[in-house]
A and B are shown apart, each in its own frame.
Chain A
């Protein structure tokens, strides 16, 4: 199925009119010239090859019936219901706008949608005026259990700030849950939200008896508040973007104003599918629990400082053999996904955002959805670091950490030995940064200062190496293209070029650790070649040239010492955060068949053709089809459709 040029679906109430009107226009300025308080728009694409060519400009003359249906892949709809008179595709949960050829065909469409639990809304329109809207959305299941759970949260006695956050959370969760059940029953979002609700209940557990604590709310209360505010922010954006445009369509609006009529539910589902794939592969591997399980390894612990990179200890798949210290039955809380212009690509333990620009530009390398892997890596690595770092509020853990410095021999178990190596690496990074020779006196305050200062850089090096190994398959060119193209969209990136250069070389160093004294030079040369190629292909901006110049002029005096200092972090990632078996699951794709040397490496999907062909690995799909330097709203929508509707959920 092919589509033609975009037009705009416009809902408005002209001055003096008693009813809302609807029209399709091809020109946005013409809508803006008559914009009123109730005007809303969404871009839609006319489907080529319906019984009459669906027009770009259409005033709904005479009496017309407009069916809104979704979310559903257009191929599946047409296969079941036959060709309508006209049809348009959009990004809202009602993603198909259809004018049937007859009342009989309309009834058939409604019956099919009902059977498939797909929501519908029908408008009878006379000369552009909506005279009779009729909604046939799925009835919300009557189960009240989640309502009781939410109500019990609102009934707790909590510190004032927490009460405010819960007062926001409860109706927000209730609204999102009920709408999910009504419109997205097949996507199991309500199950995700109930897992989130369980987390909220757990966060509040124990706070209700501390309302009137003499010294004010506890640190734990503020930590819980931080998590709650983060969840509220993610949930409200997810809900407003996804469920704007559901029934009654005339009465809901999306705050993403270029999609204010129908919302961006399909784009939300695309991000959701991507996240679910990562959860069922990387998340299900429970890396943080396996890392914690390294504490159970107590025999033959080597001194990681003295262990050569060629030692087979580094090459063993420690994660694959590690025991987790938690039950695999313990629930993993899903990450709430949403789009945000302000947050861009950002993650917390419970949320992940992608830039709003990705909705209409994710086909381009600058706005690639593959960058979500970097944010997912942050979630995993932060949890791993919480295992590596001592609890700074626990005197015993601090004393134990200081004792690791004094030990000068391997620790009693593997986790402790990694912690010792990491703490020494932090001292080493600090020594290089401050040009310090000689010893450093470290007490508890100094340790806090060191970790406070270096925590972010430690996390970034681990994340870059983790991302490079797991998601880019150690392909330097793809990695450099991917991250440097997306960095070009960040304001004032020029000041960060030196940091980004060091992080990129460190990530690539993970492929060359066995090369002994040549390791760092080889990594540097590879990155330099990839950056030069990027510059020649005109993808990169002026900052690419600056990065190349920085490497050429300051490799010896600035970059190389920093890479030396960060090498222990690279070795920790390679040795203890990477598992080949998990990486294989992340990168395999059964839907790739035929000649993999041809374009798109064997995918039979064709760009901008809305065909229902299933894929198994959404990450590989994004990787193969995000190759353009020019954003295209149509191709981006096509990618969103593939991700939302064509990922075989059963395969994961």
Chain B
């Protein structure tokens, strides 16, 4: 159904923010017990391994404000960035 590259990409995304299956993940540790989440790291472990969090001090903060408003003409509800 998917190409090799797509399977690897999904695997990477699952590793980063994928679904957790109850009973398989041990918090803060790489999981080697369950097929669904092997390789899935918790955010804490991710940071410990030099992933995203260690760069946080370099990251700028962006103020993001959104609201939901009705379009004055159509009346439909829309997501609006303020």
Q: Chain A: residues with CB nearer than 8 A to chain B?
A: 161, 198-199, 202-203, 219, 221-227, 229-230, 232-233, 278-279, 282-283, 288-289, 305-306, 308-310, 326, 330-335, 348-350, 376, 379-380, 382-383, 385-387, 389, 391-393, 395, 398-399, 402, 405-406, 408, 421, 424-425, 427-428, 431-432, 438-446, 448-449, 451-452, 455-456, 459, 513, 516-517, 519-520, 561, 564-565, 567-568
- Enumerate chain A residues within 8 angstroms of B32, measured Cβ to Cβ: 161, 222, 225
Known A-B contacts A225-B38, A226-B38, A348-B36; A202 and B80 likewise in contact (beta carbons under 8 Å): no
- Enumerate chain B residues within 8 angstroms of A391, measured Cβ to Cβ: 12, 16
How far apart sit A564 and B69, CA to CA, in the bound complex (Å)?
Answer: 10
- Enumerate chain A residues within 8 angstroms of B53, measured Cβ to Cβ: 444-445, 448
The one of A219, A350, A428 in contact with B79, judged by C-beta atoms closer than 8 angstroms, is A428
B35 adjacent to A383 (CB under 8 Å): no
The one of A332, A442, A513 in contact with B61, judged by C-beta atoms closer than 8 angstroms, is A442
- Enumerate chain B residues within 8 angstroms of A520, measured Cβ to Cβ: 77
- Enumerate chain A residues within 8 angstroms of B65, measured Cβ to Cβ: 438-440
Within the complex, the shortest CB–CB distance from A64 to chain B, in Å, comes to 46
- Enumerate chain B residues within 8 angstroms of A379, measured Cβ to Cβ: 1-2
Q: Pick from B4, B43, B55 the residue with the most CB of A within 10 Å.
A: B4
- Enumerate chain B residues within 8 angstroms of A443, measured Cβ to Cβ: 56, 59-62
Known A-B contacts A383-B10, A386-B10, A441-B63; A222 and B1 likewise in contact (beta carbons under 8 Å): no
With contacts A331-B4, A442-B62, A444-B56 known, what are 13 further pairs, Cβ within 8 A?
A221-B39, A226-B40, A330-B3, A330-B5, A379-B2, A382-B13, A405-B62, A438-B65, A442-B63, A445-B52, A455-B17, A455-B19, A517-B74
By secondary structure, the B interface counts as: mixed
Chain B 2-46 residues near chain A, CB threshold 8 A: 2-19, 30, 32, 34-41, 43, 46
B79 adjacent to A386 (CB under 8 Å): no
- Enumerate chain A residues within 8 angstroms of B16, measured Cβ to Cβ: 391-393, 448, 451-452
- Enumerate chain B residues within 8 angstroms of A424, measured Cβ to Cβ: 64, 66, 79, 81
Q: Chain B: residues with CB nearer than 8 A to chain A?
A: 1-19, 30, 32, 34-41, 43, 46, 49, 51-53, 55-56, 59-68, 70-71, 73-82
How far apart sit A229 and B32, CA to CA, in the bound complex (Å)?
Answer: 9
How far apart sit A398 and B61, CA to CA, in the bound complex (Å)?
Answer: 12
Q: Pick from B9, B40, B66, B73 the residue with the most CB of A within 10 Å.
A: B66
A389 adjacent to B13 (CB under 8 Å): yes
Within the complex, the shortest CB–CB distance from A320 to chain B, in Å, comes to 20
A226 adjacent to B60 (CB under 8 Å): no
- Enumerate chain A residues within 8 angstroms of B30, measured Cβ to Cβ: 222
A449 adjacent to B43 (CB under 8 Å): yes
The one of B39, B41, B75 in contact with A517, judged by C-beta atoms closer than 8 angstroms, is B75
Within the complex, the shortest CB–CB distance from A520 to chain B, in Å, comes to 7
- Enumerate chain A residues within 8 angstroms of B36, measured Cβ to Cβ: 226, 230, 348
How far apart sit A380 and B2, CA to CA, in the bound complex (Å)?
Answer: 8
A226 adjacent to B35 (CB under 8 Å): yes
- Enumerate chain B residues within 8 angstroms of A567, measured Cβ to Cβ: 77-79
Q: Pick from B9, B35, B49, B78 the residue with the most CB of A within 10 Å.
A: B35
B35 adjacent to A440 (CB under 8 Å): no
A232 adjacent to B35 (CB under 8 Å): yes
Known A-B contacts A331-B3, A391-B12; A402 and B43 likewise in contact (beta carbons under 8 Å): no
How far apart sit A199 and B10, CA to CA, in the bound complex (Å)?
Answer: 14
B6 adjacent to A386 (CB under 8 Å): yes
A517 adjacent to B70 (CB under 8 Å): yes
How far apart sit A567 and B68, CA to CA, in the bound complex (Å)?
Answer: 10
Within the complex, the shortest CB–CB distance from A329 to chain B, in Å, comes to 10
Known A-B contacts A330-B3, A383-B9, A439-B64; A229 and B35 likewise in contact (beta carbons under 8 Å): yes
B49 adjacent to A442 (CB under 8 Å): no
A380 adjacent to B1 (CB under 8 Å): yes
Closest to A205 in B: B4
Identify 25 residue pairs between A and B in the complex whose beta-carbon atoms are under 8 Å apart, listed by A's number.
A161-B32, A223-B39, A227-B7, A289-B6, A305-B79, A308-B73, A308-B74, A309-B76, A326-B3, A326-B5, A334-B1, A335-B1, A349-B7, A383-B2, A383-B9, A392-B51, A424-B64, A431-B66, A439-B64, A439-B82, A441-B64, A442-B64, A445-B53, A519-B76, A567-B77
- Enumerate chain A residues within 8 angstroms of B51, measured Cβ to Cβ: 392-393
A441 adjacent to B1 (CB under 8 Å): no
Known A-B contacts A222-B38, A225-B32; A385 and B13 likewise in contact (beta carbons under 8 Å): yes
How far apart sit A183 and B13, CA to CA, in the bound complex (Å)?
Answer: 38
- Enumerate chain B residues within 8 angstroms of A428, measured Cβ to Cβ: 66, 68, 79
